[in-house]
Structure 1
Amino acid sequence: MTESPLARWERYNGAVLGVASLLYLASYAVRVLGHGLPAAVRDLCLAVTFASWAVFALDYGVRRRLSGQRWPRFVRTHWLDTVVLVLPLLRPVRIVQAYETVQAHHDGPRLALHARVITYAGVSVTLLGFAGSLALYQQERTAPGADIVTYGDAVWFTCTTLSTVGYGDLAPVTPLGRLIAVGVMACGLALLGAVTGTFSSWLLQVFAREGERPPGNSPGASDGKD
């Protein structure tokens, strides 16, 4: 079967996008957390951030061209790519997808579907939690009357929100901070639902296999010898 140009592009650029995503996240983290760093270092991190975003924009444009679709249809059918391009801190979601794309083109052993969903959900939670706490800390730390004034506060708020616990001891006060909190809530609900649904499906399959076993093959069954 002949591979389409878009499939070839996704196969070859998956690793590049993964590296660019990690560089974007790392440079952004250094700029947010490195308050006492020299101006030259901060400028370098800013350059890396913009260069990484340029890679994302180039990939988006090439994918649109190779798809053969006009812009309105491409934006509708690739809405996640569009959202991630506008909000680059959501790139951790695409890191997982890029890894899956690369793995799909190799013949090596892969985890079962249920294990992959749970593993990728865990990686996504970690990366999104890190990115969300950085963005929240950047917006809240200097706001008048803010509760979230340290990065530790931002991490605690993000963890309780992603886990859908929400203690309520900390809350954002800026409009953008609250918008980030809403996004974290949505991600937490979606990922929790994916993991819960996958685990429930796996349990149902296990119980179904147990029910289909002949009585003589069930664990602990007598072998007929006294």
Structure 2
Amino acid sequence: MKTLVVGGSGATGRKLVEQLLALGQEVKVILRSTGNIPEHWKNKGNCSLVIANINEIGVEEMAGYIKDCQAVVSCLGHNMSMSGLFGKPRKLVRDAVQLLCDSIERNGADNPIKLVLMNTAGNRNKDLVEALTFKERIVIGLIRKLLPPHSDNEEAAEYLRVNIGQNNPLIKWVVLRPDSLINEEKVTVYKLYTSPIRSAIFNPGKTSRVNVGHAMAQLIVDDELWASWKGKMPVIYNEGSR
């Protein structure tokens, strides 16, 4: 199986790529430059690098990158800087998801493509009743207005939930929602939940980036796991976050 990864040079995207390579999977990574990636990626026969700015890629070009892939993962996120938080592109994640979906549909395929989107536990799954307290609604409303990346994540997930939906013959998706991301070197015990088990605002849990990478890789390679979460938005926590 070959997987296209966008956002693969980011802190979590790197963990995903490493997990896929360790599993012997073929990986194609789209990134702006090779300057900050592990040197061994450049020398692995099952890892190909595409140097390009995703904001400048059109549907035809992206369709070409996806054509020989069976899975696509977006680990894109906004940099934690003033320009990353408030500058352009404001809808980096949402626009990338639409681009990927349009490109998959342009190609057509005998079998549907798996699409995994890394998102956030602070984003609700509107297919379910994920109740918020009054205080949580107030705070999230302020975050949505004051921090553009949050609404970008919301719109990206909504694009899959509403525009692609459950019955698209070419695209099957999972939106993975980690809580507060932390750095750890090794995969530890973690669990996926249908909905948040704690408040992402007032009592957040922890999710290591390497565990997120591992979970996304397993969703891609494990058909049984994929079938259990397809069309859903699981929340991932490290063990002990209950």
Question: TM-score of the superposition, structure 2-length normalised?
Answer: 0.22
- Structure showing greater Rg: 1
Greater fraction of residues in helix: 1
Greater fraction of residues in strand: 2
